[in-house]
Amino acid sequence: MRILHTMLRVGNLERSLAFYTEVLGMRLLRRQDYPGGRFTLAFVGYDAETQGAVLELTHNWDTAAYELGNAFGHVAIEVDDAYAACAEIKARAGKVVREAGPMQHGSTVIAFVEDPDGYKIELIQKKS
């Protein structure tokens, strides 16, 4: 068994695709409209779906925004250098909500960014 994807509902698919591809550097792997159900699925990731877990962005055509609730935590992405990643994300107009630095009760360097719908993405710096 393996994890295939995590699904996030998004209010504006084009805005979300721009964030995940242009700001975080993922690739659009596939996209399919379902006119009968009035929704679109777009899959983004760093590797092919056969190679690693990806994100499924679900856009329900008649829903412009969602309440995130308080149960969802975050999506985690490993980066070589969290400080450089934050600088690059800011340069691409991304929103850094916790600057890179050691986690409070440990030495792992982390940072948090937020996507256009308010989902948190944790950047975790690779251990040397």
The residues that are catalytic are 122
Token pair of 42 as six digits: 């777009």
Cα–Cα dist 4/122, whole Å:
19
Cα–Cα dist 59/65, whole Å:
10
DSSP secondary structure letter of residue 118: S
